[in-house]
Chain A
Amino acid sequence: MQLLANALIAGSLAALIAGGLALVYGTLGVFNLALGQMVLIGGYATWWLHQSLGLPLLLSVLGGVGTGAVVSWLTFGIFVRPFYKLHRFLPLVTTIALSMLLDGVILLLFGTSPRSIITGSKTMVGIGSVLMSVEQIVLIALTIALLFSFAYVLHSTAFGRKIRAVVQHDYAAMSLGINALFLHRFVFIMSGVFAALGGIFIGIDTSLSPRSHSVSRSRRTPPSLPAAKETSGVRFCLRTSSRSSSSSSLASTGSGLSTCPPATSRRLRCFSSSPSSS
């Protein structure tokens, strides 16, 4: 049962974020590969408002959602709209560029340390044999409510019919007086809002970290050159010593940490710190 509850928590998050992605793909036919960064933007904005500015949680969450909406609005205007009518694959490349840009901004502003929106211990509730925090219960309930509301709007209202008409044939919908561009923008912003909510939930439930989103790593330098001063967020490999003779100094790296010279040990330790990243 606990496994089922855990799956429900993870599934709620995935449903929220993937729901927005599916909506955009269905309506515009484009993949937004910067959605992961939009998740982070919403979460980090909420963290900043709550932890740094000291605003109440509800206000911070609204601020985080608003930030997600504004960022996705700008994303649509700059990175998607000028391209998707030329070719629907172009936003695939431009949103990769955006994801790198947002990664850089997030790393500069917030660093790589994990950030929790709510610090301290959480109140746990036992439901039968299942143990869940209050926040997780709220997350599941809110996700279900949000997705059902959106499904209702999409399938049972005039506005939803307009969106579906645009999905089926945007030019035909425009000839019937439906503002397809507005609906495209609306759907894109909604996906950003869902992503931001996902980020806020992650920040409340566990912690936010740019580790799994970073794209800054480049191939390392050879042993004889100055080390790359990279802050990738995935892991740091800042080797502080440089050697003149690379082949001889690396001859002892194979067998493990205990037999390595100090500089090599540091390097190996850094490799093994996060074996499941990427």
Chain B
Amino acid sequence: MEFFLHTLAHAFMAIPTILGYNLVFGKGKILHFGQEAIALAAVYAVWVPVMLHGAPLGVGIVFGIVAAVVMALVLAWLSFRLDADGLGVMSIALHLAALAVVLNWQSVTRGALGIPRIARPAGMEDLQSFTIVMAVVAVLWIIGMYWLDRGPFGRALVALSEHSWHAEALGIRRRRIHTIAFLITGMGALVTNFFFPMYLHLLSPSDFGFPITIFFVTIIVAGGPGSLWGVICATFLLFFLREGMRLLPLPADMLGPLRLMIFSTILFVAVWFRRKQIFPKQREV
């Protein structure tokens, strides 16, 4: 039961950042791998002032919002300046640079030690109540994303992803739509990573590595890029698979590599079956 609740809490917690990322990567077809760069900036902006300098949580949240917005705007700006593959590589570089700053600026971030003793707020101390709160947050986020997905914003994003010039000729402003998409994904990263250190009582930079981005890409590709319900289902399935593998009676030195091989195979098979949908060719008349 505890394992079930833990996995549920994990999946619910990840829903905002994954659906936000799905909006940019899946629906907008923007080759952006910098989701964890936003998460790093936001989460450290929240918890460094609160835990290390005694600032009120509200101040930390404001700092987190500012950091997430700034990082999202930087990535959006890069997406306007660079070709798609250039953005892909640059966003990976931005993420690794952010990680390097966090790891090496030890006087501010405590480096690889991370920030311990992050307490859960009142009413969320036990796993059950934490999972319920995360479920509520996830449901609210899903409703918001559904509203965006089905509304003019979602249609404009799809139009831009299919043919940017034609969409702009019809009055859709690419810069505005893509900037909003990046800001939403930034807020998703903030929401997820606001709760994550509380859940563990620890903020550690090793939880923000590039593998997490790859895991998100796997979820989006497996669930169907841009598909809200598909990605939600894939999130739960892959989280249960990932966490469930901990229970396999295998030696420690086999489980890690085996997990790698299983998830890489899932990613490859998903790309194979969705190779015409991930980056579709422009429609021709």
**A interface with B by C-beta (< 8 Å):** 31, 79, 82-83, 86-90, 92-94, 96-101, 103-105, 107-108, 111, 214-226, 228-238, 246-247, 250-251, 253-254, 268, 271-272, 274-278
Contact = CB atoms under 8 A, between A and B. Distances in A.
A101 B261 contact: yes
B85 A88 contact: yes
Interface of B: 2-3, 6, 10, 31, 84-85, 88-89, 96, 99-100, 103-104, 106, 111-114, 116-117, 119-120, 125, 127, 196, 199-202, 204-207, 209-212, 214-215, 217, 221, 242-243, 246-247, 250-261, 263-265, 267-268, 271-272, 275-276, 278-281
Contacts of B117: 250-251, 253-254
Contacts of B89: 31
Given A89-B85, A93-B221, A216-B259, A275 B111 contact: yes
A223 B201 contact: yes
Contact of B2 (A224, A228, A250): A224
Contact of A231 (B85, B112, B254, B279): B254
A216 B267 contact: no
A89 B279 contact: yes
Instruction: Please give me the 4 A-B residue pairs with the lowest Cβ-Cβ distance, nearest first.
Output: A231-B256, A100-B264, A104-B260, A104-B261
A94 B280 CA distance: 16
Contacts of B254: 108, 231
Contact of B202 (A82, A90, A250, A272): A250
A92 B88 contact: yes
8 contacts: A87-B278, A88-B85, A100-B260, A108-B257, A216-B259, A230-B255, A236-B252, A253-B117
Given A101-B261, A230-B255, A278-B209, A90 B196 contact: no
A215 B210 contact: yes
A195 B252 CA distance: 30
Given A82-B275, A87-B279, A92-B88, A216 B246 contact: no
B211 A90 contact: no
Given A250-B117, A276-B104, A278-B99, A216 B31 contact: no
B257 A96 contact: no
A247 B75 CA distance: 37
Given A82-B272, A214-B260, A234-B206, 5 more contacts: A92-B31, A231-B252, A231-B256, A237-B206, A253-B116
B81 to A, nearest CB: 18
B200 A220 contact: yes
Contact of B242 (A98, A218, A233, A278): A218
Contacts of B276: 86
A185 to B, nearest CB: 20
Contacts of A215: 209-211, 214, 260
B274 to A, nearest CB: 10
B211 A216 contact: yes
Contact of A83 (B96, B214, B252, B275): B275
Contacts of A224: 2, 127
A29 B206 CA distance: 33
B2 to A, nearest CB: 7
A202 B46 CA distance: 41
B6 A221 contact: yes
A107 to B, nearest CB: 4
A237 B256 CA distance: 12
A224 B201 CA distance: 11
A98 B272 CA distance: 13
Given A229-B246, A238-B252, A278-B96, A98 B264 contact: yes
A216 B275 CA distance: 24
Contacts of A97: 264-265, 267-268, 271
